[in-house]
Structure 1
């Protein structure tokens, strides 16, 4: 969906207190970030014993202390929650937030947390089918007086969801699968999110998504492109370089090495330049994880010196 470039910020959630999350949410909202995001994991990643705040409970609390930013998950998989119950939770969050919810959905990947919590974890094909069934159930509950659905993994019968959302919550589908997942996005999503691990492949992913839209007769311009990303920003290039080296060590592997070449980092001017490269590929929404112990500090610099270039 062509239009204004929008910036969202990831909230501190892993090994952080509610007070830290609340403080960041209130400040990000005041700074003008368009959306606030949390991950939907039941255990800390990559270390399962790291404390993590549960996603949808956390967003309900955040909704009560913020005014304008939209609120979403990156991303909620099937089988963590019954999709009808999740639809009810999202409708309730919609009421609390005044219609600011983005339902961020995906297939899930971290098998250990599913098994540990007693949730089903079938193969990818089955998880993707369950994802599409979940979306269908949620859309029916949000729009029909009584909803019924019979699928392979889930069913509902004459179910009512009241109060309904003010308008159907936006649906974000995240993931890099170019055939089945992007087909689901083409049929159902308002936003497709490219995972950070695939940031270097954004151009190819966008073209694959365009093909899926063509196949289902969807106007590609009605689907917004989002990029999940780490942003390393400092007042000058030298300071940013030092922070970048720390980030590369922290993230490691493919993601760490790709951050320098394909990621968003640098002085405010360098960050603007790198964002513009993404915008030229069709991306208009950035779900940002700021690098730093207190993410409010880089978020302030970004809001002051980067956001105005895109307003």
Structure 2
């Protein structure tokens, strides 16, 4: 089992603090999101995701750094692919690249984009991910797709290595995008309870197995929402064991709040025991 720490910092001091904690504790990856504002409370400050990752890339030495997930509501695939190559350059090949379709109305409002239907959202995700995959592999030929046409693209300088591409997906058509293009799959409970999400995870892992036809990819659980990783040390161990049985090989936890620090410290002191 691999472990990631996700932080949505309000300022660089907070971002730098958690980067130091994550690297010292032995987390495998340090993640941040990609929202122009906090989805529920606009008074909560949120830094720009790609900029935070670039800062982490320049100031850490071991830990992988990444976006979970880059939000295609206000990104164009040619721009985002260039940013990904830059973040990988700065990190020396330690960048992990998550992409998601963006669900929050506030994302659409800030970008001046009407809310997409579920079908359009998945169609856009499929075209977007295919473009990014193609560009990062070095293919810069013109594209005339339905949503993201472009010409004269450039990917010079290239990434140190092609960043692992991780797609957030829940529905059958989005899981097909994962199978077609991704090196990893990410999912989270959303509004579901932990038990409901567990049952859905069983079905989604089985569906993904059928689509992948034997190809192995990373399977990442975002442990927040209905899942509380910092309730107790025993609860953390139970969480790891429960979702490992489903097929997940990576768990991403959120940075603890002040009242959760005691359990966090207990868990990270024994992080290797949970692998």
Indicate whether 1:219 and 2:214 are aligned: yes
Give the aligned partner of residue 202 of structure 1: 198
Q: Which moved more, 1:111-120 or 1:87-96?
A: 111-120
Cα pair 2:88 2:95 within 8 Å, conserved: yes
Indicate whether 1:148 and 2:142 are aligned: yes
DSSP-derived class of the 1:157 partner: coil
Task: Tell me the distance in 2 between the aligned counterparts of 1:188 and 1:297.
Answer: 40
Indicate whether 1:54 and 2:18 are aligned: no
Give the aligned partner of residue 279 of structure 1: 244
Q: Equivalent of 1:300, from 254, 261, 265?
A: 265
1:157-172 matches, within 5 Å, as: 157-172=151-166
Task: Tell me the distance in 2 between the aligned counterparts of 1:39 and 1:102.
Answer: 12
DSSP-derived class of the 1:64 partner: helix
Q: CA deviation at 1:217?
A: 5.2
Task: Tell me the distance in 2 between the aligned counterparts of 1:145 and 1:34.
Answer: 30
1:176-191 matches, within 5 Å, as: 176-177=170-171, 179-191=172-184
Q: Structure 1 residues 151 and 209, CA, compared in 2 at 3 Å: closer, same or farther?
A: farther
Q: CA deviation at 1:76?
A: 1.9
Structure 2 unaligned residues grouped into runs of 5+ = none
TM normalised by structure 1 equals: 0.80
Q: Structure 1 residues 170 and 217, CA, compared in 2 at 3 Å: closer, same or farther?
A: closer
CA deviations 1:258-311 (Å, max 9, x no partner) are 44xxx5444424421331111111111011014313876654322212x12134
Q: CA deviation at 1:128?
A: 1.4
Cα pair 2:8 2:47 within 8 Å, conserved: no
Q: CA deviation at 1:45?
A: 2.5
1:30-45 matches, within 5 Å, as: 30-45=24-39
Give the aligned partner of residue 249 of structure 1: none
Which is higher, the Rg of structure 1 or of structure 2? 1
Q: Structure 1 residues 74 and 295, CA, compared in 2 at 3 Å: closer, same or farther?
A: farther
Task: Tell me the distance in 2 between the aligned counterparts of 1:266 and 1:111.
Answer: 30
DSSP-derived class of the 2:258 partner: coil
TM normalised by structure 2 equals: 0.89
